[in-house]
A and B are shown apart, each in its own frame.
Chain A
Amino acid sequence: MIPLALIFILLWPGMAAALSIEQPTVWRGELRFGETVRVAPGAALTVEPGTTVHFSGGTLEVAGRLVAQEARFTGTDWQGIVLKGVDGDTRLTDCLIDGADTGVEAIGGAPRLERLHLRGNRIGAQLGKKSTAVLRDSRIEENSRAGLIVKDGAAPTLTGNLFTGNGLFGAYIVQAKPLTFRDNRFESQPTGLKIANLGSDPEIAGNRFEKNEVAILVDKAARPILTGNLFTGNGIALHLYRRADARVEGNRFGDNTLAVLAEYSSYPKIAGNDFTGNERALELAYQSSAWEREKGAESRARESRQGAFGQGMRPDGGERQWPPAATDGTINARDNWWGTAGTEELATAAGKDNPSFILDGRDTPTFRDGGKDYPLDRVLFSPWRDRAATGDLWP
């Protein structure tokens, strides 16, 4: 361990040993580290504009304070920047972080991360342990797995970010509820935003999802409120999977292959949305109240209780905490605008009985599981709106 002196300015570009920063320290120029650098509690590290910090292993672990502006943190086989319980005095602004396992990770605390460029990491950013970090106006792109993971009860503020070209997920919220999730943009990803697990019930408002294979995937009893979002040019705009009882209100779904897919005991409330120009507006698959009553809890328990190593079963908790609501074989999708063509179809006798833009139990009465047929649920679509309600969401 090499404690650094007060206001020690590192200009030496050589390879440093493991460091513990315990006094106020400034970094400037080009620095290289081969292992972990720790900023101790009470210590402060300032990284000046124009600085480039290379890591060839290890991590920059901050338990004190880090202030970095217009700097680059890069390297190979390095773990990234870990912020442990830091407060709002830790600020990373206009920085590029690349080549790391996780570009920047906040474990608890409330750092401010603004106008960052997180590129080419395995995971761009990760916010956990009840962190109330602020991540805004950042460009999070081409990370090989996920742009952002929010977990462990974190309640960050996430606004104005662009998630594009990330390998699996733009952002992934699991057992967490962002305080604000607004004005973000998701483009060209296998899944733009995944929201999973009981306890994940954030409000996702005013975001734009474009050209993703799946724009939003809601899974495993997550119950978000999706409102005022624009979905356009996606394969599936909203995929509700495994008890995903989302509230879907006031969104604009346009020009998607499929606007909403509900599967496996997902009973959303879908109201006040505009569905115009999608190849199909709404589709149900493996969705049956009878199946849910007979096999739902047992099926989910098999999955959720699986131990980490795939052998034994952990104690069950989720189903007891939140038993499924009684279902009657219907999905509530009343009071939506189905577009001009859809509304014209609904005016016909055939359309009123079974509109072509909804695929449900009227089209496929049953599905087979375990050698038994189960009735596919039906969508309640009447009454419907006679005009669009989300005109201001058009691009």
Chain B
Amino acid sequence: MRISLYLTIFLTLFIAACTPSGETGLEGVVLFAEKPLAGAAIEVYLRAEKDRSTQPFTSVSSDEQGRYRLDLPPGRYYLIGKKQEETPDGRRRMLFGECPANPLEVARGLSRAPSFSLREMGRDGELSGPDDTGVGGRLTVAGAPLPRGFVYVYTENAAGLTGPSYGAAAQSGEDGNFTLNLPPGRYHLVARQRADGSRIGEVTGGDLNGVYPGNPVEVKSGIILPLGDLPLTPVDGERHAARRATGPFAATDTLLRGRIVDADRRPMAGISVFAYLDSRMVGKPKYRSAPSAADGTFVLYLGDGGTYYLGARAALGGPLEPGERVGTYDGDPRHAVAVARGQERDLGAIVVREVW
């Protein structure tokens, strides 16, 4: 009898030990147009790259209440949701969305992922809507119409209404007016005009920035919602710099420091260091430093310890441009550096070379 009890306990523990993920994982709810979405595929990736041609680590479907549960071993994961469906009027559409809290950390037990919304994809990957549905308004600065400013539409505000994850964008006309066709749903709008006229990129001192005061807006089918004026104000360079210090460059107690130099060991200013979790070092980095100082020094603050793959370049993304300086941390053949939480490491010099 006692042998049988021990055997039962042993087998129970053995089976539990053999379960790949144990009781760790993620659960959450996926939405579309503010309502739970049934039958959406929730895919899990181990890396952040946008090219989803690789197979997901695992995937599940959401239930009738839009809920999903993923059994996952401890680690960091990237969640996306998607669903192809037919609309009541017989049109095929693709819904897609990334969890704004990516990557999600799974440590102990079942973690709750924030709810996230899918959006309808247009042919160019942006939000699309019929001609009679969307929003319209006018960009202004100091009460006057602002021509050629950009309006951005976000479906989530968890990431702070910044960055390239906006679902749609439009440029105001000479009279400051803009119209955006959107599918029915709830949206957050911001507007920006950069001094160099570009559509994307970090705003800096002297650029114009504005958040629509009536956010979020509710778009209903068959109506172009009149928003009125969306006022923009100049970005204060000093305040912006101060805010940056609490943003991605905020000081942490886990950091890497070093110096950017060229092949002749001359210090190079204006070079950012990028930390990737993925050895391929493509796509969006996990962390990046502020541009190196005039003496080439940089500090890269990290949110956590781990193994990071480091590259350095002047531009924040995109293909290399002629004359751009680029390099990697070469203290390790894989360009990797391991750092413990709370540790400071001096990497010495990172050498950048010109690309032509």
Q: Which residues of A contact B (CB under 8 A)?
A: 1, 20, 38, 40-41, 57, 63, 77, 79, 84-85, 107-109, 122-123, 126, 129-130, 145-146, 149, 151, 168-169, 172, 174, 196, 307-315
Contacts and interface: CB of A to CB of B under 8 A. Distances in A.
A178 to B, nearest CB: 15
Contacts of A108: 195-198
Given A85-B196, A151-B322, A315 B335 contact: no
| A-B complex: 5 closest residue pairs judged by Cβ atoms | A312-B280, A309-B311, A108-B197, A108-B196, A107-B196
A222 B296 CA distance: 36
Interface residues of B, number: 35
B287 to A, nearest CB: 15
B205 interface: yes
A384 to B, nearest CB: 37
Of B269, B280, B322, most A-chain CB atoms within 10 Å? B322
A77 B294 CA distance: 9
A312 B283 CA distance: 9
A129 B197 CA distance: 8
Contacts of B313: 308-309
Of B50, B280, B335, most A-chain CB atoms within 10 Å? B280
A40 B279 contact: no
Contacts of A174: 321-322
A20 B278 contact: no
B214 to A, nearest CB: 27
Nearest to A86: B195
Contact of B280 (A1, A63, A311, A315): A311
B50 A309 contact: no
Contact of A41 (B49, B234, B269, B323): B234
A149 B195 contact: no
Interface string B327-356: 010000001000000000000000000101
B280 A307 contact: yes
A307 B320 CA distance: 9
B281 A38 contact: no
Interface string B281-293: 1100000000000
Nearest to B197: A108
Contacts of B270: 79
28 contacts: A1-B237, A38-B237, A41-B234, A85-B197, A108-B198, A109-B197, A122-B323, A129-B197, A130-B197, A130-B198, A149-B321, A149-B322, A149-B323, A168-B356, A174-B321, A307-B281, A308-B311, A308-B326, A309-B281, A309-B311, A309-B335, A310-B328, A311-B281, A311-B282, A312-B278, A312-B280, A313-B280, A314-B51
Nearest to B267: A77
Interface of B: 49-51, 194-198, 205-206, 234, 237-238, 269-270, 274, 278-282, 294, 309, 311, 313, 319-323, 326, 328, 335, 354, 356
A122 B325 CA distance: 12
A132 to B, nearest CB: 10
Contacts of B311: 308-309
Given A79-B270, A84-B195, 9 more contacts: A20-B237, A85-B194, A85-B196, A122-B323, A151-B321, A309-B311, A309-B335, A310-B328, A311-B309
A191 to B, nearest CB: 10
A74 B43 CA distance: 56
Contact of A312 (B281, B322, B328): B281
A40 B313 CA distance: 27
A107 B321 CA distance: 14
Contact of B328 (A41, A77, A309): A309
A146 B206 contact: no
A299 B197 CA distance: 36
B197 A145 contact: no
Of B274, B281, B354, most A-chain CB atoms within 10 Å? B281
A109 B281 contact: no
A330 B311 CA distance: 44
A314 B313 CA distance: 16
Given A149-B323, A309-B311, A38 B282 contact: no
Contacts of A38: 205-206, 237
A311 B277 CA distance: 13
A149 B196 CA distance: 17
Nearest to B312: A309
Nearest to B234: A41
Of B49, B197, B281, most A-chain CB atoms within 10 Å? B197
A314 B281 CA distance: 10
B22 to A, nearest CB: 32
B311 to A, nearest CB: 4
A365 to B, nearest CB: 34
Contacts of A309: 274, 281, 311, 313, 326, 328, 335
B294 A63 contact: no
Nearest to B329: A309
